[in-house]
Structure 1
C-alpha cells in the first residue's frame, strides 16, 4: 500500500497532528482498587520549547491537567500545552491494550472494564472508558458505543476525545435498540452530542427528514466540534447531488475543521469525487482515513475498498491489488473483506486470461 501511495502520504502530512486527548470522566461505582501508580511526568510546551513537570496527576480534562508537585502544590496546566504524559499503567490496562492491538475486541473490552475497576486514578479510568467506546464500535455494538461516549461527554463536555465519537459515516441500518435510543436523543435539546449521534444513525430510516432538520440546527451550535461534525454529516445526504465545485469546497474545508475529530469527514468527500469520476481525488481523500488512522474499522476497510476501485478506474491495478490485500490482512473481520477477496479473484482470472 505504501509503495503506491507515497505522494498521498506526503499530502496527508500537512494535516495538523491531533494533540494528546484529555482523559475522559465518568461517574461510576467501582471495586476497591488494587493498583497504585508511581510518579507521573508531564511534558509541557513553553514559549521556548518544552519542560517536564513531575508529581501526581490529579485530573486531566479537555481544558486542563492538574498535577500535584513534590512540594504539595497543585499546578494547573492548560490541556493545549500538554505534549505528552508518562505514567504507570495497571497490568490489566497493559493486557487490554495488547488485546486491542491484536483485534481481540471482546477480550479487550472485558480487560478494559477490569482495568477501570482496579485503577485508583479517576483521570486514568476516564481514559480507559474511551477505549471501551472503540471496542464496542469494533464489535458492532453501536448503541452501547453511543451510550458510553455520551457518558464521556456528560462527565467532561470539553473532552478532546471527540475523535472517538461513534458516528455513522456509511449507510447502515441501525439496530432496534439504537433506533429507540435515538428517538429520545433527537428531542434532547440540552445535549447536542446526543442529538448529533441520533441524527447520524437515523439518516437512512423513516426519521431522515427529522435528522436533517436537527443536523441543520446543529451546524450553528456553539460547540464548534458539534457544528463541524453536523456539517459533514449533512454532506452524506448530498453525495449524489453536490456539484464538483461543492465537493472541492468540502475537501478544502476538511483540512480546516477536522483536527481532533477523526477522519470520517473524508468519506463523503471521497464518495462524491468518485460520483464525479474524479478517481484520483477520490482515492486521495479515501486513503487519508487509513493513513491518518480512524477508530471505526468498518469505515476504514470500506474506504480502502472504494479507494482500490478508484485506482482501478485510473488503470493502477497493482496499487488496487495491494489495497485489497491490505483489507484481507488487516481488516479480515470486516464486511469489505469478502468483497476484496472477490475482486482479487476476478483480477487473477483476468490476468490468467490475458
Structure 2
C-alpha cells in the first residue's frame, strides 16, 4: 500500500502544469528514439553486479571493474541487500538464494510478469513520459512486487524531471530515498551542469540544505553551489564527503568539482576521470555530464566529445540523458565543421531503437 500511494502521488505530480518547463523538457517527451526496457514472459530477472566498487587503487577507464550476471527470480531488493533465487537452482531440490550487497548492483533487468506492464514500460524507453505516467494509472500495482515498484518509482522521478523539471521531482525523490538502493541515486535530480536556478528553486534548495537529512542536504547544496550561497554549499558538500553512506560521499565529492575554477579543470581532470571510472556505472552519469559541460565551455572539444560518447554508449537505461549527450556531441561537431562525424552521431542517435534486454 505504501508503494502504491507513492506512485499515485507522483502520477499527480507529473500532471501538474509547470510554467517554467524548459523547451528541452517539452521536446524530450516527443522524441521517438526508443529503448526497449521490457522482457518477455520466458526471460528471468537479471542482475548485473559490480565486483569491485573501491574508489582507491589502480583502475583503467578502458578496463572497468568486471561484472557478474545472475539470473533467476528476485525476491528482495532494498538499501542493504538484493536476494535472488538463482535460475535452475531447484534442479538440486532446494532453491538457492543468493544474497548480494545492494551497493554492488549496477543494473537490473526485470521480468515484469505481464504484457500490460511491459507495454507501459516501453513508453518510458520511447521517452513518452506523459503516456508512461498515464499508463501506470491502469495497472494493478498490488500485483507488482515491491522491488519492481522501486524501479517504476525511479522512472517516474526521471519522467517528472524531464516534463516538469527538477524542482517538481526533488520532493518525490526525497520521499523515496529513505531505503533506496545506491543504484537509484543515479537519477537523483542534482545539478550537474551550469544552470541558473529559479528563485523558487533557490528557496526550496535553502530549505533542503538546512534539513537534518543528508540526502536533502546534498540536493540543496547541489542547486546552491553556483549562487550567492556558494560558500554554505561548499561547506555542506565538504562535510557530506565524509558521510558514512558511500553513495552520498561519492556524489558530494563529484558535486564539489563544480566549484573548481575553469582554469584549473585540466589539472584536475585526470583525478576526476579516475574517480568517475571507479563509481557504479549509473552513478557515474552525473559526474560525466559535469565534465562534458565543463570541457565544452573551456574549449577542450575533443575531450568533451569523448564524455558525450561515453554517456551515449553506457547509459541506455537513461534514454533522455543519453540522447541529450548525443545531441550535444552533434552540436559540437557541427560547430567545428565536422559534418560527416556529426551525421554519424545523428544516425547513432536515431538508431537507438531497442536494446539488449
Query: What is the TM-score with the length of structure 2 in the denominator?
Result: 0.66
Match in the other structure for 1:96:
120
Give 1:176-187 correspondences, 5 Å limit.
177-187=200-210
- Aligned-pair Cα RMSD in Å: 4.0
The answer to whether the 8 Å contact 2:106/2:280 transfers is no
Match in the other structure for 1:242:
264
SS for the counterpart of 2:244 is coil
Give 1:139-154 correspondences, 5 Å limit.
139-154=163-178
* Higher-RCO chain (CA-CA 8 Å, sequence separation at least 6): 2
Match in the other structure for 1:161:
184
Structure 2: gaps (5+ residues) = 8-40, 52-67, 353-357
| Structure with greater Cα Rg | 1
Q: Does 1:59 align with 2:76?
A: yes
In the TM superposition, residue 139 of structure 1 has moved relative to its aligned partner by 0.7
The answer to whether the 8 Å contact 1:92/1:115 transfers is yes
Match in the other structure for 2:224:
202
In the TM superposition, residue 168 of structure 1 has moved relative to its aligned partner by 1.5
Q: Deviations over 1:32-75 (max 9, x none)?
A: xxxxxx9995568999x977656xx5422243234689889894
Partner Cα distance (1:296, 1:149) in 2: 16
Query: What is the TM-score with the length of structure 1 in the denominator?
Result: 0.67
The answer to whether the 8 Å contact 1:247/1:272 transfers is no
Partner Cα distance (2:165, 2:175) in 1: 16
Q: Does 1:260 align with 2:260?
A: no
Match in the other structure for 1:109:
133
| Cα distance change, pair 237–286 in 1 and its aligned pair in 2 (3 A) | farther
Choose which of 132, 149, 156 in structure 1 pairs with 2:156: 132
Match in the other structure for 2:234:
212
The answer to whether the 8 Å contact 1:182/1:198 transfers is yes
Partner Cα distance (1:98, 1:140) in 2: 21
Partner Cα distance (1:108, 1:184) in 2: 31
- How many residues matched? 295
